Amino acid sequence: MTSLRPWSGIPIHDEGEPLVPLIDLVRLEPHPYLSLGAPYGPQACPFRLRRGVMERLARAQEGLQRRQIHYQLAIFDAWRPVAVQAFMVNHATRQECEARGLDPDGSGPQWEAVGLEVGRFWAPPSLNPAAPPPHSTGAAVDLTLADADGRPLEMGGAIDAIGPISEPDHYALAARKDPDSEAALWHGRRMLLAVVMQEVGFVQHPNEWWHFSYGDQLWAWRQGLDRAHYGRIGAPALEG
């Protein structure tokens, strides 16, 4: 897996904000990684973000409902300790190997190709404080759109899917060719999610329609800034 990202060298000046619970937002439960047995530890809740990030997310929800009153933001995942990142990288790698008919414990060029592809979507589980995985900072959130009853809307690809289908603009060409197609519907929903998140300061991961962050190294890189606001944060700093 690729160990460095374009944003990995950006300095972090952590503002010391605590993690706070996600409130008044739809949570997609049971939490997918907890269900797999990911090692969050006792009383560690993944549905938490830095206070400033949570405040912006609440504003994004307001912006969404100004545009589509029957839509809601639905949270898939938020804060993620490095141990969980390692667990999920291993899980995603094994799944991708099996999808390609490879022994997950094998080695060679085909397995290296799997590592590179998984690495486009999953950050390395680095313990280096200068290069934390985005979700370990409490600044990144994976989310989608839901209807008024909290049911997730079809977005043309599952969260965490490995491959081009996950790129934000995957359906753009098909949408232009046929504005009445399902592809156009999915593209429109992806763009709506991006707009309401970006207008309150979030940036989008270049490979993932569902991943947005504010204040981490990825955010600083996409904004052309020389420092990030949030570094890795552990369970002892939980609040609420």
Catalytic residues: 208
107: which 2 tokens? 């080695």
The reply to whether omega before 129 is within 30° of 0 (cis) is no
Separation CA 219–CA 1 (nearest Å): 22
Residue 133 CB partners (closer than 8 Å, separation 6+)? 80, 82, 85, 123, 124, 125, 126, 232
The residue ranges of DSSP E strands in the chain, in sequence order, are 19-21, 26-27, 48-50, 72-77, 140-146, 203-204, 211-213
Which one, of 166, 206, 234, lies nearest residue 7 by Cα? 206
The pair of structure tokens assigned to 221 is 């890189």
Q: Strand 26-27 vs strand 72-77: parallel, antiparallel, or unpaired?
A: parallel
CA dist 132 and 135 (Å) reads: 8
